[in-house]
Structure 1
Amino acid sequence: MKQSFFQLTFNDLQQLLEQNSLNASAANLLYNWYYKRKNKYSNSITDIAKGTLSFIDEVFSFDLPEAVKIQQAEDKTVKFLFKLSDGSKVESVLIPFNKKYSICLSSQVGCAMKCSFCFTGTQGLKRNLSASEIIGQFLSAWHWLRENRPGEERILNIVFMGQGEPLHNFDEVKKACEIFTSQYGTSIGHQKITISTSGYIPGLKRWKDEIPGVNLALSLHSPFDETRNELIPINRKYPLEEVLDYIDGIPLRNKQFVTYEYLIIKDLNDRQEDALALGQLLKDRRALINLIPFNEFPGTQYKRPDLERVNQFKLLLEEYKIPTMVRTTKGDDVLAACGQLNTK
């Protein structure tokens, strides 16, 4: 069975070519062809030796995930349901801004974290995605843009905020980031990639040594353990105080912040005392707070707060001099907003 070309880092590809007595410089040309120029087929490459091309065609598959369902929201958000080679399915979302896009990628089929506010959490964990399946979401979405919105195929930011806990699949997410940031390929800057975590400490322990420079976002959602236990059950195993200690140990670059995501749920964590405790918790940290009004999904017990309540919450946080923004909800009419992804 052929292996996916998109599973190999640049160094992996060079080594494989050398091991088969082929010119390692072809790695540069191949990465440029498939990642920088985003071509689909190698049959028109003219500057690589025929023997190397034969080897590439014999050994590698260049298949990408199949988009079995594509939904376009009124605000131009696009949600893809991708079918993988084993029949598993994941969702990815293109989020528009000024004729450019961010892409929200999934890292697992389902999720083991069981967060009560998240639609994905209702289905449990099926398996991890490989780096090639993560990369494939990006490339498939890019090709769709080229074919359907020509001139807009600019995906400038990557956020690992789709299905799954990225740090629960650390090795494959790390490899995908290495491929994304390779100067020979898509050349996406580390500062343009954000990985969100619910506070999975085994992954946070590896962060500073293995993926420095990539942006971190913590799903915080409450400064109080009792409420956070309800929303994020792994808080019982990895309590917030311990999570923050590990985050505080991650070196930040100049002008780099840790984003703390705070999902505001009506009558649960939207009180004045919640805002004041959150401000007190983060006031001495290099923090950016992202307030996210809850996005309802089928079967959820939670409700979205009104905008006035959200703005009051924001004003209280600003008294602590912490940069705070309210995330604009995009794609909720096709269940593409934060917390709404599922594989059905």
Structure 2
Amino acid sequence: MKQLLSDFNSEEIREALDIPPYKAKQIFRWLAKGCDFAEMSDQSKAFRETLQENYFAQGVKIIKRLVSEDGTEKYLFALNDGAVVEGVLMKYKYGNTLCVSTQAGCRMGCAFCASTLNGLERNLSAGEIYGEVVAVNRLKEGGLGEGRAVTNVVLMGSGEPLDNYDNVIGFLRLINSPDGLNVSYRNISLSTCGLVPQIIRLADEGIAVNLTVSLHSPFQHKRIKLMPVSKKYPLLSVVEAAKYYFEKTGRRVYFEYTLISGENDSDEDAERLAELLKGFPAHINLIRLNPVRERRLKGTGDSAAAAFAARLQNLGLSVTLRRRMGADIDGACGQLRKRYLEENGFENG
């Protein structure tokens, strides 16, 4: 069975192919540009044919692209075995941020998310996660560019990154490699629903990416309803793990808080949230809920969302009320993949 060569860093390529370091770096750079073996013009034809017989060069291709009125782009990626995942490219003044998936589907069961509706199909390999970035770079640069279209990456698409820990760490090392895309860890954010042991492990890993914790309620009993994982990892233990991450890495921790009408947007919620995070130099990102057809939850209205943000600020918290992006193109996590599976007769992802 063919292996995906994009799973390997340049040293692993050198070892696997028994070639000189300079040659391994050449191949690694070609892979970072989204090239197939036939495009590697500085390699001999015989060597390229040998690679083609034994490996896949790339593991991801874009099969659908939607463009929002606000410029946000959503992609459906096909993997070599037919599995599909999705990504979102968001354009900001400071650059282009790509939201990537780490799993096909998800098993976390969050009440507001489309990714989990069909359960978990499988984990993505390091090279497949990397391939999402590579594919978008190649598309945006119109071919063999320098891989600079995507400047920032957030691991916030389908799947729980820390539920696919080893492959995610492999991806982070691949994308940070100076031989390839060389994306700084400071330009990478990892979002987790709160897998406490893995947060601790990540803090000790020596990879200081930005950590974002999905909070969504400051009350344990409410959070369990929204996020079943809170049964295993209670709210207070998640906050303590986030504090440990900050202490170990020096990186500010962000908390995602999706505003859901009647569920987590009251004055009581705001006051408890301020109490929970008192003295912790964290930042709250308030997110407007993108509706999911299969879910009955409704997002907080614009005026109420602004009032909730102001209330948190008055209570001393650092807060951003995020603008909704890609709402007209199935912007919520997992929706595009869900529709594709339905249209193609797959009732279970």
Structure 1 and Structure 2 fold alike (TM over 0.5): yes
What corresponds to 1:11 in structure 2?
11
Alpha carbons of structure 1 residues 44 and 164: separation in structure 2 relative to 1, 3 Å: closer
Task: Pick the aligned partner of 1:74 from 69, 74, 80.
Answer: 69
SS at 2:303's partner residue?
Answer: helix
Question: What are the Cα deviations for residues 48-85 of structure 1, in whole angstroms up to 9, with x where unaligned?
Answer: 57776565444332134232222111112111112222
CA RMSD of aligned residues (A): 2.4
Percent identity between matched residues is: 33
Alignment of 1:182-201 (within 5 A): 182-201=177-196
In structure 2, distance between residues paired with 1:334 and 1:142: 21
From 83, 96, 112, the equivalent of 2:91 is: 96
Q: In the aligned structure 2, how far is the partner of 1:46 from the partner of 1:133? A: 24
* Equivalent position amino acid for 1:165 in 2: E
Deviation at 1:160, TM superposition (A): 0.7
C-alpha spacing 1:152/1:325, structure 2 compared with 1 (3 Å): farther
Equivalent-residue separation in structure 2 for 1:110 and 1:3 (angstroms): 23
Q: Compared with structure 1, are the counterparts of its residues 34 and 83 closer, same or farther at alpha carbon in structure 2 (3 Å cutoff)?
A: closer
Is 1:131 the counterpart of 2:115? The answer is no
Q: 1:166 offset after TM fit, Å?
A: 0.6
- Change beyond 3 A, Cα 1:83–1:211: farther
CA shift at 1:46, angstroms?
5.6
1:27-42 aligned within 5 A: 27-35=24-32, 38=33, 40-42=35-37
- Structure 1 residue 42, shift from structure 2 partner: 4.4
Q: Which residue does the alignment assign to 1:2?
A: 2
My pick for the range that moved more, 119-128 or 163-172, is: 119-128
Cα distance between partner residues in 1 of 2:283 and 2:94:
25
Change (3 A) 1:261 1:99: closer
Between 162-171 and 291-300, report the one with greater CA deviation: 291-300
- Aligned equivalents of 2:263, 2:39: Cα separation in 1: 58
2:253 pairs with 1:258: yes
Alpha-carbon separation, structure 1, partners of 2:277 and 2:49: 56
> Shift of the alpha carbon at 1:178?
0.6
* Shift of residue 39, structure 1, vs aligned partner: 5.1
Q: Structure 2: give runs of 5+ residues left out of the alignment.
A: 341-349
Q: Is residue 207 of structure 2 the alignment partner of residue 239 of structure 1?
A: no
Output aligned runs, 1:153-172, within 5 Å: 154-172=149-167
Q: Measure, in 2, the Cα distance between the counterparts of 1:46 and 1:270.
A: 57
Asked if the contact 1:109/1:163 (under 8 Å) is kept, the reply is: yes
Q: Is the contact between residue 107 and residue 163 of structure 1 (CA under 8 Å) also seen in structure 2?
A: yes
Match of 1:314 in 2: 309
Residues 63, 127 of structure 1: CA spacing in aligned structure 2 closer, same or farther, 3 A cutoff? Answer: same
Q: Please say if residues 255 and 283 of structure 2, whose CA atoms lie closer than 8 Å, have aligned partners that are also in contact.
A: yes
Question: 2: CA distance between counterparts of 1:33 and 1:265?
Answer: 45
Are 2:61 and 2:79, in contact at CA under 8 Å, matched by a contact in 1? yes
What TM-score comes out, normalization by structure 1 length? 0.90
Give the letter aligned to residue 103 of structure 1: L
3-state DSSP class of the match of 1:297?
coil
Structure 1 segments unaligned to the other structure (5+ residues): none
TM-score (norm 2): 0.89
What is the aligned partner in structure 2 of residue 283 from structure 1? Answer: 278
**Contact 1:181-1:188 within 8 A present in 2 as well:** yes
Aligned residues: 337
Determine the structure 1 residue equivalent to 2:344: none
Aligned residue for 1:159, secondary structure, equals strand
